[in-house]
Structure 1
Amino acid sequence: MAGAYDDERLARAAVRALVAEAELTPRAGAVRDDLTAVRWAAQALQPGFAAMAAAARRNAEPTRELREELGFIGRSTERSMLRATGGVNTHRGSIWSLGLLLASAALQPGAPIAELTATAKRLATLRDRSAPRLPSPGSTVSARYGAAGARGEARAGFPHARRALAALRAGTGRPDVLLSLMSTLQDTGILYAAGPHGLRAVQAGARDILDAGGTTTPDGAAALASLDADLRRGELRPRGSAALLACGIFLDDVASTWPPKQGPAARGRAARDRAVTA
Structure 2
Amino acid sequence: MNSREDEALARAAVAALTGQLALAPKPGLPDPRDLNARTTHADHRALRWSAKALTPGLAAMAAAARRTAEPTPALRAELGAIGRCTEHTLTLAGGGHRGALWVLGLLVAGVAVESGTGGSASVTRVRGSGATTQDARGRAHRITALARQLAAHPDRGAPPRPTRGSAVSVKYGAAGARGEARAGFPHVRRALDALGAARAGGADEGQARLDALLTVMSTLQDTELLHTAGPIGLRQVQAGARAVLEAGGTATAAGAEALAALDADLHARAWSPRGSAGLLAGALFLDALAP
Whether these two folds match at TM > 0.5 is yes
**Equivalents in 2 of 1:225, 1:253: separation in Å?**
28
Asked whether the 8 Å contact 1:57–1:106 carries over to 2, the reply is yes
Aligned to 1:12: 11
Asked whether the 8 Å contact 2:114–2:143 carries over to 1, the reply is yes
Aligned to 2:180: 153
Which amino acid in 1 is paired with 2:145?
A
Quick one: which of 210, 213, 230 aligns to 1:195?
Answer: 230
TM-score (norm 2): 0.83
**Equivalents in 1 of 2:141, 2:210: separation in Å?**
24
Aligned to 2:213: 178
- State the 1:15 CA deviation: 0.2
**Equivalents in 1 of 2:264, 2:164: separation in Å?**
24
Identical columns (%): 58
Aligned to 2:257: 222
- State the 1:120 CA deviation: 0.6
TM-align CA RMSD: 1.4
Runs of 5+ consecutive residues of structure 2 not aligned to the other structure: 35-40, 121-138
Aligned to 2:21: 22
- The answer to whether structure 1 residue 95 and structure 2 residue 101 are counterparts is yes
Asked whether the 8 Å contact 2:194–2:211 carries over to 1, the reply is no
Quick one: which of 67, 70, 76 aligns to 2:79?
Answer: 70
- State the 1:239 CA deviation: 0.9
1:238-277 superposed matches below 5 A: 238-254=273-289, 256=290
Moved more, 134-143 or 155-164: 134-143
Deviations 1:202-221 (A, max 9, x none): 00111111122222322222
Quick one: which of 21, 34, 39 aligns to 2:48?
Answer: 39
- The answer to whether structure 1 residue 163 and structure 2 residue 163 are counterparts is no
Larger Rg: 1
Which amino acid in 1 is paired with 2:77?
E
**Equivalents in 1 of 2:48, 2:267: separation in Å?**
21
Which amino acid in 2 is paired with 1:60?
A
Asked whether the 8 Å contact 2:77–2:157 carries over to 1, the reply is yes
Secondary structure of 2:288's partner?
helix
Moved over 6 A (4+): none
**Equivalents in 1 of 2:285, 2:182: separation in Å?**
18
**Equivalents in 2 of 1:220, 1:143: separation in Å?**
35
Asked whether the 8 Å contact 2:195–2:211 carries over to 1, the reply is no
Aligned to 1:61: 70
**Equivalents in 2 of 1:229, 1:169: separation in Å?**
27
**Equivalents in 2 of 1:219, 1:168: separation in Å?**
19
**Equivalents in 1 of 2:148, 2:161: separation in Å?**
23
Which amino acid in 1 is paired with 2:146?
T
Deviations 1:154-213 (A, max 9, x none): 000111101111222332610111011101111110001111000000001111111222
TM-score (norm 1): 0.87
Question: Residues 146 and 228 from structure 1, CA distance in 2 versus in 1: closer, same or farther, beyond 3 angstroms?
Answer: same
Which amino acid in 1 is paired with 2:20?
E
**Equivalents in 2 of 1:226, 1:10: separation in Å?**
37
Asked whether the 8 Å contact 1:108–1:116 carries over to 2, the reply is yes
**Equivalents in 1 of 2:263, 2:164: separation in Å?**
23
- State the 1:113 CA deviation: 2.0
Asked whether the 8 Å contact 1:26–1:215 carries over to 2, the reply is no
Quick one: which of 101, 109, 134 aligns to 2:161?
Answer: 134
Secondary structure of 2:157's partner?
coil
Secondary structure of 1:108's partner?
helix
